[in-house]
Amino acid sequence: MHSTLIKDSFGREFKTLRVSLTSLCNMACVYCVTPGVVQTENKQTVLTTAEYLSIIKKIHEQVGLKTIRLTGGEPLLFNEISTLIKGIVELGITDIKLTTNGLRLSAMLDDLVDAGLRSVNISLDALDPTVFRSITKVHNIRLVLDAIENAIAKGLEVKINTVVLRGVNDHQIIPLFEYASSRNISIRFLELMKMGYLHYNETDHFYGMDEIVEKISSVTTIAKMERAGSNTATYWQTSKGMVFGIIANESEPFCSDCNRLRLDSLGKIYGCISAAEGIDVKTSADAFLTEALETALAQKQDHFTGSEISMKYIGG
């Protein structure tokens, strides 16, 4: 029985749950990991598959979730991810998506698809191996490119996510756009978000939506599409039918119809990516979940402000 009462005065409710399965990552992207800080996680407190399923079930009973996106950190470092996906399907939620850096994807693809995965966003910030390495601190871009090919061949819906950094990979926008076009998949360019250590640090690497649009317009004719409700990206279509998106938290905030709730690997929920802290639903009694969801909904804002919490904790 789903409650429909958890809705704010703007009509916002939770329909999509993003789960950060681990804050650990096998990349160390410059905008996500504080430079010089070693990544660690206290394994004792991280949720087990059974705990994830129990929390997701309770949230689903309250709000009637439509979509679950598994993310992180790097979600493919959570070894039981396929078991978790099967469990989520058994709860009656079939729209299960994954956001990954792709490093481990090819090896896990069959199991993930057998479990019920249908859609994957793969992060790729550059095609040039040197630029890729300078951002991710990882050498093997081939693994990511192979993962994209294998996921397409397996019949998954595949999208590419690219964070654009001025002076670092802005010259990769057109090669990446052409790469995605040649594979008939969509690519979304992300504006840099003031999350984690970037929150209080001025950065001159920000590259905005208008500049991305201008750059792509220089090689093809494009038309802006109407944004579908609660989508993170605004999309453009080229005259040849290729679609690309921009996730413009700064230039074009999309808070007004946001339906996302986040759950981190410690069992805390967040109603907004800019929330300063999460609400513990791991140890709180079941009776408090409605209250926790209402508190989370009240965290929603009207424009993106960012937070000290890095994406790898809260789930990008």
Assess 101 for contact with ligand SAM (CB under 6 A).
yes
Structure tokens that stand for 100 in this block: 């990954």
Among residues 19, 168, 185, 198, which is the contact residue for ligand SAM, using CB under 6 A? 198
Nearer to ligand SAM, 119 or 295 (CB): 119
Nearer to ligand SAM, 62 or 186 (CB): 186
Q: Please list every residue from 173 through 192 that binds ligand SAM, using CB under 6 A.
A: 190, 192
Assess 135 for contact with ligand SAM (CB under 6 A).
no
Assess 78 for contact with ligand SAM (CB under 6 A).
no
Nearer to ligand SAM, 13 or 191 (CB): 191
In angstroms, give the least distance from the CB of 71 to ligand SAM: 5
Nearer to ligand SAM, 233 or 293 (CB): 233
Among residues 100, 172, 259, 274, which is the contact residue for ligand SAM, using CB under 6 A? 100
Among residues 82, 99, 234, 299, which is the contact residue for ligand SAM, using CB under 6 A? 99
Nearer to ligand SAM, 74 or 264 (CB): 74
In angstroms, give the least distance from the CB of 73 to ligand SAM: 6
Strand order in the sheet with 234-238: 222-224, 234-238, 243-247, 186-190, 157-163, 119-123, 95-100, 67-71, 16-20, 260-263, 268-270, 279-280
Beta carbons within 8 Å of 33's beta carbon, 6+ residues apart? 25, 39, 196, 310, 312
Residue 133 CA from chain centroid, whole number: 21
Binding letters toward ligand SAM, positions 248-287, x by CB under 6 A: ----------------------------------------
Among residues 14, 31, 207, 244, which is the contact residue for ligand SAM, using CB under 6 A? 31
Residues that bind ligand SAM (CB under 6 A): 25, 29, 31-32, 71-72, 74, 99-101, 123, 161, 163, 190, 192-193, 195, 198, 311-312, 316
